[in-house]
């Protein structure tokens, strides 16, 4: 499974609703991911540009997109930002593969 880091904002209505009726959103996210074959590794309320950060695993890009679309369709989220995350072992593999590819690529305008 691939790991993804998701950041987003809650809409004003969602924030108002959670103030009236506080809830642990990690439960809702975890259930949604489980239904898609994934899992929640961490969920955090954050300060700054985004309201929350989630670290999740999903079996495919299609399943991750489905989770994001389902969550966004609720109307309580905005500005979702999703990044694929590589482990250090996966990153090492990418650098190893790049070392084979780099010699065949020339810079634009280069000789």
Residue 111, domain member (yes or no): no
Counting the structural domains of the chain, the total is 1
Residue 97, domain member (yes or no): yes
Q: How far apart are CA 48 and CA 2, in angstroms?
A: 26
Range of the domain at 13: 2-104
Residue 109, domain member (yes or no): no
Please check whether residue 25 is in contact with residue 43, taking contact to mean a CB–CB distance below 8 angstroms: yes
Please check whether residue 62 is in contact with residue 2, taking contact to mean a CB–CB distance below 8 angstroms: no
User: Can you give the pTM of this predicted structure?
Assistant: 0.87
Residue 92, domain member (yes or no): yes
State residue 111's pLDDT score.
62
Helix (H), strand (E) at residue 89: helix 88-101
Long-range contacts, stretch 86-91, CB < 8 angstroms, 24+ apart:
86/3, 87/3
Residue 31, domain member (yes or no): yes
What is the full DSSP assignment across 14-55?
HHHHHHHS---HHHHHHHHHHHTT-EEEEEEE-SSS-SEEEE
Tens of pLDDT, residue by residue, the chain (111 residues): 999 999 999 999 999 999 999 999 999 999 999 999 999 999 999 999 999 999 999 999 999 999 999 999 999 999 999 999 999 999 999 999 999 999 888 888 866
Residue 32, domain member (yes or no): yes
Residue 110, domain member (yes or no): no
**Interior CA angle at 62 toward 60 and 63, to 5°?**
70
- Please state, for a pLDDT cut of 70, what percent of the chain lies above it: 98
We report the CATH number of the domain holding residue 27 as: 3.30.70.920
């Amino acid at each position: 499974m691939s790991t993804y880091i998701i950041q987003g904002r809650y809409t004003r209505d969602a924030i108002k609703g959670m103030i009236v009726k506080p809830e642990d959103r990690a439960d809702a996210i975890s259930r949604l991911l489980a239904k898609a074959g994934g899992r929640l590794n961490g969920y955090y309320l954050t300060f700054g540009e985004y309201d929350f950060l989630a670290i999740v695993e999903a079996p495919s890009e299609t399943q991750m997109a489905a989770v994001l679309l389902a969550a966004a369709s609720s109307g309580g989220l905005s500005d979702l930002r999703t990044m694929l995350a590589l482990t250090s072992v996966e990153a090492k593999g990418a650098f190893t593969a790049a070392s084979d590819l780099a010699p065949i690529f020339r810079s634009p305008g280069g000789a």
